[in-house]
């Protein structure tokens, strides 16, 4: 029963956060309680199996409990070593600015301004590969490809200003439904020609992002790379 309750909390906690029934803090708390219940349930099932010899129900409870524990554990292990930052950009000296998404960030815990030099230093150490992308294609062609990539990724396009070379979008995370904002800046690189692409991704809430924003920037740039 404890393992089953833990499984229910594992689903209900993030789902309730996603639909707005409670804050992400409550969702994380429920996630922690689900892991605790799953561990206790699996332990009791092991003891019960040893004492009674009824390994079918005991084994089921153990498997369910360990499966519940494995979900957040896998996320934590995959994010091990990532810094506690939530604002990632390919241009830390002149980050692309949010414009159209500003009304959507009203009341967000994290302000839209770039986090500053300390965040930049941590990003350089943790994600040295997050760099501007320079392409030989024209700005117009690159803009069209970037907009198509944003839509293919399932992000919500908030603004697409071809003349300014700016695309703004919102990506909703799968588990808790967090809203993260993305801005893409596309500019010509005279006199040699070609186009430079800069991307910035920032969470609205939270301190660390478990590497989510860096992964998002990498994926977009990967899709814009020439074949």
- Domain extents in the chain: 2-78, 87-224
Tokens of 226: 């020439």
Q: Cα(83)–Cα(63) distance, rounded to whole angstroms?
A: 33
pTM: 0.84
Structure tokens at 96: 């692309």
What is the full per-residue pLDDT of the chain (227 aa) written as tens digits?
888 888 889 889 888 988 888 888 898 889 889 989 989 999 999 999 999 989 998 998 899 889 888 877 777 776 677 899 999 999 999 999 999 999 999 999 999 999 899 999 999 999 999 999 999 999 999 999 999 999 999 999 999 999 999 999 999 998 888 999 999 999 998 877 789 999 999 999 999 998 999 999 999 999 999 87
Domain 87-224, CATH: 3.30.310.80
Burial of 116 by CB count in 10 Å (0-12 exposed, 13-18 middle, 19+ buried)? exposed
Cα first-last separation, the chain: 53
C-alpha to C-alpha distance for 37 and 90, rounded to whole angstroms = 42
Could you tell me what percent of the chain has a pLDDT over 70? Answer: 98
Residues 6+ apart with CB under 8 A from 43: none
DSSP-assigned letters across all residues of 35-64:
HHHHHHHHHHHHHHHHHH--HHHHHHHHHH
Secondary structure class of 223 (helix, strand, coil)? helix
> Helix, strand, coil % (nearest 5) of the chain?
50, 15, 35
Contact (CB, 8 A) for 159 and 99: yes
Taken in order 209, 210, 214, 216, the sign of the CA dihedral is negative
Q: How many residues does the chain have?
A: 227
């Amino acid at each position: 029963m404890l393992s089953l309750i833990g499984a229910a909390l594992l689903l209900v906690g993030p789902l309730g956060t996603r639909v707005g029934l409670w804050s992400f803090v409550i969702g994380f708390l429920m996630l922690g309680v689900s892991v605790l219940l799953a561990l206790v349930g699996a332990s009791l099932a092991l003891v019960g199996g040893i004492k009674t010899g009824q390994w079918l129900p005991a084994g089921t409870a153990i498997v369910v409990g360990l499966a519940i524990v494995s979900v957040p554990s896998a996320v934590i292990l995959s994010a091990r070593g990532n810094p506690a930052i939530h604002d990632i950009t390919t241009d830390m000296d002149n980050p692309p600015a949010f414009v159209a998404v500003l009304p959507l960030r009203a009341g967000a815990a994290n302000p839209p301004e770039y986090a500053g030099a300390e965040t930049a230093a941590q990003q350089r150490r943790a994600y040295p590969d997050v760099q501007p992308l320079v392409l030989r294609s024209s700005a117009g062609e690159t803009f069209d490809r970037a907009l198509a990539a944003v839509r293919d990724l399932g992000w919500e396009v908030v603004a697409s200003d071809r003349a300014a070379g700016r695309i703004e979008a919102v990506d909703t995370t799968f588990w808790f439904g967090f809203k993260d904002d993305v801005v893409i800046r596309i500019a010509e690189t005279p006199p040699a020609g070609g186009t430079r692409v800069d991307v910035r991704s920032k969470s609205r809430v939270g301190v660390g992002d478990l590497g989510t924003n860096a992964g998002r920037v990498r994926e977009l740039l990967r899709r814009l790379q020439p074949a």
